[in-house]
Amino acid sequence: MSTSPISSALLAAAASFGEASQPLRNLLVDHLVETSPEAVERLAEASLAGHRLMLATDADTPDPQVRLLVVDSEQRVTQIAAIGLFPPSDLWN
């Protein structure tokens, strides 16, 4: 890992991403409450187990998804849900 200082632009972008992730997470969880009892159950189990809840975005595809993930104490990642940002294209599908 680099020991170079982080640029102020990168720090600002990361802070902005972090601020935007909270309402996005809340909206996604609210959506799951309405549409997927199974996903809500998995979220509850993960929360009770003390696992971390994360949002991730695809960076290498023309059809990016926002993914709701759980990371357990062994660093295993489980996807709970994914929601598309843009209408699907014919690329990579």
pLDDT tens profile 61-90? 888 889 999 999 999 999 999 988 666 555
**pLDDT tens digit sequence for 28-61:** 999 999 999 999 999 999 999 999 999 999 888 8
CA–CA separation, 91 and 89 (whole Å): 5
Residue written as token pair 């357990």: 72
The pTM is what?
Answer: 0.76
Report the pLDDT value the prediction gives residue 92, as an integer from 0 to 100. 46
What's the Cα-to-Cα distance from 17 to each of 9, 25, 41, 77, 91, rounded to whole Å? 12, 12, 27, 21, 27
- Sequence spans of domains, the chain: 8-84
Question: Among the residues of the chain, which ranges form H helices?
Answer: 8-35, 37-48
